[in-house]
Structures are given as structure tokens and as C-alpha cells.
């Protein structure tokens, strides 16, 4: 028994000795790796604290005038404010009075730049520049609950305006399934139902209108569906 313990002790000492030799041999490499990891961690922290966060703050500050014009435009459906929102106000003495397109160019990778893409898409859609609208809709990456659905519906709107009804149907149908809430889902179904009517496809149109009627009684579109159902049935 004592012999086994002595042998085990000898093996442990040998293992420790070899470990020490390994550490001694590669200590510079090990220290270098540790330093590299620390530098990487500190670098990531530094980028976030001293670069990313100030950049986000500056982006929000510079975007404020353009987003103010955007808000005014959406409230009053004013084409002039949509243009000011997009291109900025060249007559302003405010050095930050730049448009959404400039915000996208400067800060496209930030949350503010991403939000500007959505707002630019709305502006172009309302100005009748549908290709440009679709360009920014495609580049927008919404992470909230509502705007990705609205963005998908706007793609349908742009396609309808260009006579691409089949593409519009795909976008509206996708929007209807993205978030099953009583606002966007029945709105998307109503829109796709209307496009089906434009395509003389009354069966699919009726399916959409009846689904709004049966599944979304709290929707603002609910009370209007009887008239659209009756109209589609008479075609």
C-alpha cells in the first residue's frame, strides 16, 4: 500500500515537474496569448464606449431636423416636407440640417441610419418614386414589432402602383402572417383582397374579406367587410 502511495506521489511530482517545464518553455507564448485576449476584450469595450456610443449619439443629433420634417410630412401628407426630410434644408443656418439620405450615407450601420432607411422609403413612396422606395425598403432591417410589417405592406403598395399585382400579393400575404394583431393583419388582408379584385379573382378576394370578418371583430375594418363581401359576390 505504502509502495503504491509512494509511486503515485512520484508520478505527481513528475507531472508537476513536466508542467513547470512546459510553462517555463512556453511562458512567453502563454503571456502573449493572455495579453492578446485582454487587448481584444478592452478593445471591444473601448470601441463600444468611446466610438460606437458617441457615434450613435451624434447620428441621433444630426438626424433630428430631417426626422422633424418627416414627422410633419406624415401628419399633413405634405410633399414639400417629404423632400426636406430626404434632402435637408439648404437654406437653413443649422449645420446639421441634412436629409435622411445624408444620414444613411454617414451612419447607415447605426440604429439611426437604419431608421432613416425606413423613413426614406416612406418619403419616396409618398413622392411616387417607387423604385427608390423599394430600394430603401429592401435595405431596412426592422427589429421592432410593427415597422417590419408596415415595411412589407409598403412594398406591396409600391408594386401595385407599378402594376406588379402578383408581387404585391406576395408582400401583402407575407405581411398578414408576420404579426397576428388586430391592426396590421386585417389591414394586409384587406389590401390583398383588393388586389385580388383588381385581378378579377373574386374567390381569393372573398376569402380575404371573410377572414377579416371572422377573425378580427375588434379591427377597424370589421364593419366595412360586409359591403366588400357583397360587392365581391356580385362580380
- pTM for the model stands at 0.76
Superfamily of domain 142-235: Tetratricopeptide repeat domain (1.25.40.10)
- Residue 61 has a pLDDT of 87
- Residue 169 has a pLDDT of 97
Burial class (CB in 10 A: 0-12, 13-18, 19+), 21: exposed
- Residue 56 has a pLDDT of 74
- Residue 14 has a pLDDT of 52
From first to last of the 235 residues of the chain, give the pLDDT tens digit. Answer: 444 444 444 444 454 454 455 445 544 544 554 444 444 334 434 434 434 566 677 878 888 888 898 899 888 888 999 999 999 987 665 555 789 999 999 998 899 999 999 999 999 999 999 999 999 999 999 989 999 999 999 999 999 999 999 999 999 999 999 999 999 999 999 999 999 999 999 999 999 999 999 999 998 889 999 999 999 999 8
Nearest alpha carbon to residue 56 among 65, 47, 69: 47
- Residue 150 has a pLDDT of 93
- Residue 100 has a pLDDT of 95
- Residue 113 has a pLDDT of 93
100-107 vs 53-76: helix crossing angle, rounded to 10: 160
Q: Where are the domains of the chain?
A: 142-235
Q: Are 108 and 136 contacting, i.e. CB atoms less than 8 angstroms apart?
A: no
Amino acid at each position: 500500500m505504502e509502495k503504491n502511495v509512494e509511486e503515485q506521489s512520484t508520478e505527481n511530482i513528475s507531472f508537476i515537474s513536466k508542467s513547470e517545464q512546459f510553462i517555463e518553455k512556453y511562458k512567453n507564448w502563454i503571456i502573449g496569448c493572455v495579453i492578446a485576449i485582454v487587448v481584444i476584450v478592452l478593445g471591444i469595450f473601448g470601441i463600444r464606449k468611446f466610438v460606437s456610443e458617441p457615434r450613435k449619439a451624434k447620428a441621433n443629433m444630426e438626424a433630428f431636423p430631417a426626422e422633424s420634417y418627416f414627422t410633419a410630412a406624415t401628419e399633413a401628407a405634405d410633399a414639400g416636407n417629404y423632400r426636406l426630410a430626404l434632402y435637408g434644408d439648404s437654406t437653413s443656418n443649422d449645420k446639421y440640417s441634412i436629409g435622411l439620405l445624408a444620414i444613411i450615407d454617414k451612419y447607415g450601420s447605426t440604429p439611426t441610419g437604419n431608421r432613416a432607411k425606413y423613413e426614406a422609403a416612406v418619403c419616396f413612396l409618398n413622392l411616387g418614386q417607387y423604385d427608390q422606395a423599394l430600394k430603401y425598403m429592401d435595405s431596412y432591417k426592422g427589429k421592432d414589432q410593427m415597422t417590419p410589417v408596415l415595411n412589407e405592406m409598403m412594398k406591396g403598395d409600391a408594386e401595385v402602383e407599378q402594376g406588379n399585382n402578383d408581387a404585391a400579393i406576395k408582400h401583402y400575404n407575407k405581411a398578414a402572417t408576420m404579426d397576428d394583431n388586430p391592426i396590421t393583419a386585417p389591414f394586409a388582408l384587406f389590401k390583398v383582397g383588393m388586389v385580388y379584385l383588381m385581378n378579377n379573382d373574386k374567390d381569393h378576394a372573398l376569402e380575404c374579406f371573410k377572414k377579416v370578418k371572422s377573425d378580427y371583430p375588434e379591427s377597424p375594418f370589421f364593419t366595412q367587410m360586409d359591403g366588400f363581401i357583397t360587392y365581391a359576390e356580385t362580380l
